[in-house]
Amino acid sequence: MTTSDILFRPLRVGSLELANRIVMAPMTRSFAPGGVPGEANAAYYRRRAEGGVGLILSEGTVIDRPASRNDPGIPFFHGDAALAGWKGVIDAVHAGGGKMGPQLWHTGAVKSFLTEWDPDAPLESPSGLDAPGVARGKAMNDADIADTIAAFAKAAGDAKRLGFDTIEIHGAHGYLIDQFFWAGSNLRTDRYGGATIGERSRFAAEVVAAIRAAVGPDFPIILRVSQWKQQEFTARLATTPAEMTDWLQPLVDAGVDVLHCSQRRFWIPEFPEIDGENGLNFAGWAKKLTGAKTISVGSVGLSGDFMAAFSGESSTNAGLDQLIERMERDEFDLIAVGRALISDPNWVNKVRQGESQALRGFDAASLAELV
């Protein structure tokens, strides 16, 4: 058994059977002109499937709401043209031997740091805020909330109909669902607000429940969550395990099968005051507290963290020893890899074959090409 064999165990979640534990992380790079993915997008994902990725999660793709995206190159997951494009993507991935789910998204009030573009429709968020004290857009009313929940469910049902193997809901990084979680951006006094993280999880739980009703009992639902926000890297929704349980357990109870726990560096312990500097990371604690399957993510195989890439920082492949150690102790179930797979579609196969010297380092210039 080689040191990387632990990454190549199969895994089953509901109707989804994976050949290994490596996930291609969602990476939105705005290569869908007019919101419609085309042959280039399909070929891009197929190359990663052929390169050995166990599960591909698409770039963020938005639900049918008037202001659900903050960049004109972000793809839709609604409308005949976009859905036909996504049908071509999933057929290409399956032809390459892969499994895939779209990441369903609503950016809320967040402004893109890559473009000055804004949608024509009014921006929407829980309380008309982008971040604590930063007004942007309008507060959602009951009809807005109900329509948004329905739009998430419709997109998930369309994903299953098109042949996708799973779906991921984006509930992290300061976007719409996360804005409901965050006390700094959710000042509501109705049933979608509240003083506790458990109360502020209601909107997300209703999204999950509606999706579960749309896709049936066995189709896997993944939910991406994070403590940090792009508006505030140091933000924390849960400062104790008890708060984390209050936040995440209602979401699992509503139908989430897998929690995709985003942190900027996967090796950082979540509560070192409890289990030390080599303690469980975010995904480890989420698994321990809820019993759900978890995906960990954060600068895997790289020397720099995710957000630094967008300021032009380059990264080289760092050792995988910490990842192997955590996987061997069954801390989490899957590991997501992002930038390394942008630069090197064959990264997974090279790791499996022990070709560490052949791994290509990441360079920010590769963000500009769909290859």
- Encode 38-95 in three state secondary structure: CHHHHHHHHHHHHCCCCEEEEEEEECCCCCCCCCCCCCECCCHHHHHHHHHHHHHHHH
Q: Any idea what the Cα angle at residue 18 is, between residues 28 and 57, rounded to 5°?
A: 10
Contact between 101 and 49 under an 8 Å Cβ cutoff? The reply is no
Which residues, other chains included, contact 140 with Cβ-Cβ below 8 Å and sequence gap of 6+? 124, 125, 126, 148
Contact between 279 and 241 under an 8 Å Cβ cutoff? The reply is no
Six token digits for residue 129:
């805020």
Q: Residue ranges of the domains in the chain? A: 5-368
Length of the chain: 371
Closest to 270 in 3D by CA, of 248, 301, 255, 302? 248
Question: Percentages helix, strand, coil for the chain, rounded to the nearest 5?
Answer: 35, 15, 45
Q: Is 175 a catalytic residue?
A: yes
Show pLDDT as tens, one digit a residue, over the chain (371 residues). 457 899 999 999 999 999 999 999 999 888 898 999 999 999 999 999 999 999 999 999 999 999 999 999 999 999 999 999 999 999 999 999 999 999 999 999 999 988 899 999 999 999 999 999 999 999 999 999 999 999 999 999 999 999 999 999 999 999 999 999 999 999 999 999 999 999 999 999 999 999 999 999 999 999 999 999 999 999 999 999 999 999 999 999 999 999 999 998 999 999 999 999 999 999 999 999 999 999 999 878 654 444 444 333 334 344 588 899 999 999 999 999 988 898 899 999 999 998 877 776 666 666 666 77
Q: Tell me which DSSP letter residue 131 carries.
A: E
Amino acid making up residue 232: E
Contact between 300 and 336 under an 8 Å Cβ cutoff? The reply is yes
Tell me how far apart the alpha carbons of residues 168 and 171 are, in angstroms, rounded to a whole number.
Answer: 9
Domain at 5-368: CATH architecture = Alpha-Beta Barrel (3.20)
Catalytically annotated residue among 44, 45, 175, 192: 175
Angle between helix 142-162 and 80-95 (nearest 10):
40
Residue with tokens 């760092």: 318
